[in-house]
Amino acid sequence: MIALALPVMIGMVALGTEIGFLLYKQRQMQVVADAAALGGATALQTGHPALAVEAEGISGFLGLVNGTAGVTVTVNNPPLTGPRVSNASAVEVIISQPQTLSMVTLFTSGAFSVGARAVATAGAGSFCVLQLGGSSTGFSISNGATANLTQCGLAVDSSGATALSLTGGAVLNATSVSVVGSASINNGASVNPSSGLKTSQPSVADPYADVAMPTFSGCAGGTGKSYGYGTSTMSPGVYCNGVSFGNAANVTMNPGVYFINQGSFNVGGGVQLTGTNVTIVLTSSTGSNYATVTIGNGATVSLSAPTSGATAGIVFFGDRNAPLSDTNVFTGGVAVTINGALYFPSQTMNFQNGSSNTSACTQLIAGAIQLTGGSQFQNNCPTGVAAIGGSASTLVE
């Protein structure tokens, strides 16, 4: 009787122990898949192009290394299965690994495949304009200017008593306004909706703080370069002592990184300037006379940032060592379409005299921001642009 019952007893032990082990391994894989999907979605949110590498790295750190011990980690963006197959903001992670069981193989042969699947969606940046800096700087609008932040908000990191200053009939339209310090709104100025204004808020981090400014040397692009009448093509390189565009020039910038070493990137005189996948770095090789940008006098400018690489998401990149007194100006009826970030972390940005921006994706980050003319910013950004603040990535499947 014992001999007859022994196989049954062994089978029960196998079922109770090893099947329990399979359930444990599946649960372990599910935890890893969840973490990897969230990591991939966060990489997507912050503009990191290698979201699959990020997800696989998290899986490997947690003990399931793709390609090792039969482990397979598959990352899909958008997901290939489930209800979010067309959602470009979703990241799907599938992990599998065969398991060989000792006692169960007495009754059946072959490995058991154990797997897990998770899907996470990238958080959305809630701000498209961010003022960085201390108590003496801030965000100001005056002289009837209107700032339209379409479906996004404004964050002001200044801690001063007038960190946010609106006067002279100025209007700020934004989904939310977060101010570390206090707000001064008078002389007919308004924030719409008024319920969106919050003061004494925590500061919002610079989303590009970890982006290293590219290095450069020489003056391969030219010295004091200027473009005038006719159609021209401009190539990436180092342009010393500024670049000027005037006299109705029509210039196309080839993709790449442009270094403006001192002087000014000056666009005016009815100029048409276009460029795709370009970053314009404003800097100085001597630690003084840092380059700035001035666009005005009816110019038409259409520029978009790279979607990958070291300067992904950034159109204008101001040197972090430049002083706040350096002012970048868009003025005089200029029509600007910027797809990406205007990034001047230590400088001042000034929109004045009817300058406008109609792009579906324009971020503005600067040490101080002044508006005396209409402007518009939106957050419908392509891959590569880092989110400013906003919600965290969410596990949805």
Q: Is pLDDT at 262 greater than 80 in this prediction?
A: yes
More confident call, 267 vs 393: 267
Which whole number is the average pLDDT over 214-239?
A: 90
What is residue 108's predicted lDDT score, i.e. its pLDDT?
A: 56
Most confident of 253-262, 266-275, 343-352: 253-262
The span from the CA of 256 to the CA of 272, in Å, is 19
Which whole number is the average pLDDT over 90-103?
A: 78
Contacts of 314 (CB under 8 A, 6+ apart): 208, 211, 279, 305, 306, 340, 341, 343
Which whole number is the average pLDDT over 374-395?
A: 67
Concatenated DSSP letters of 179-206: ESS-EEE-TT-EEESGGGEE-SPPP---
Which whole number is the average pLDDT over 127-149?
A: 83
What is residue 1's predicted lDDT score, i.e. its pLDDT?
A: 78
What is residue 5's predicted lDDT score, i.e. its pLDDT?
A: 67
Q: Is the dihedral of CA 211, 306, 130, 198 positive or negative?
A: negative
Residue 47 Rama label (left phi>0; alpha psi -120 to 50; beta): left
Which whole number is the average pLDDT over 253-274?
A: 93
CA 354 to chain centre: 28
Contacts of 69 (CB under 8 A, 6+ apart): 97
Contacts of 212 (CB under 8 A, 6+ apart): 310
Write out pLDDT tens, residues 4-62. 766 666 666 666 566 667 777 778 888 888 888 888 887 776 656 677 888 888 888 88
Confidence class for position 260, pLDDT limits 50, 70, 90: very high
Residue 13 sits at the vertex; the CA angle it makes with 12 and 18, to the nearest 5 degrees, is 110
Contacts of 20 (CB under 8 A, 6+ apart): none
Tally of CB atoms within 10 A around 67: 10
Which whole number is the average pLDDT over 280-299?
A: 91
What is residue 386's predicted lDDT score, i.e. its pLDDT?
A: 75
* % pLDDT > 90, the chain: 29
Q: Is pLDDT at 122 greater than 80 in this prediction?
A: no
Name the token pair of 240. 């010393």
Confidence class for position 376, pLDDT limits 50, 70, 90: low
Q: Is pLDDT at 281 greater than 60 in this prediction?
A: yes
Q: Is pLDDT at 344 greater than 90 in this prediction?
A: yes
The dihedrals phi and psi of 115, each to the nearest 5 degrees, come to -150, 170
Q: How many residues does the chain have?
A: 397
What is residue 333's predicted lDDT score, i.e. its pLDDT?
A: 63
Q: Is pLDDT at 102 greater than 80 in this prediction?
A: no
Name the token pair of 372. 């005396």
What is residue 294's predicted lDDT score, i.e. its pLDDT?
A: 92
Name the token pair of 358. 């109609």
The span from the CA of 265 to the CA of 330, in Å, is 12
Confidence class for position 347, pLDDT limits 50, 70, 90: very high
Name the token pair of 397. 């499947």
What is residue 298's predicted lDDT score, i.e. its pLDDT?
A: 79
Confidence class for position 276, pLDDT limits 50, 70, 90: very high
Contacts of 219 (CB under 8 A, 6+ apart): 238, 239, 240, 261
More confident call, 217 vs 381: 217
Yes or no: say if 376 and 148 are a contact pair by the CB < 8 Å rule: yes
Contacts of 202 (CB under 8 A, 6+ apart): 180
Instruction: Report the relative pairing of strands 222-227 and 146-150 from DSSP bridges.
Output: unpaired
The dihedrals phi and psi of 371, each to the nearest 5 degrees, come to -125, 125
Q: Is pLDDT at 256 greater than 90 in this prediction?
A: yes
Q: Which pTM value belongs to this model?
A: 0.71
What is residue 45's predicted lDDT score, i.e. its pLDDT?
A: 64
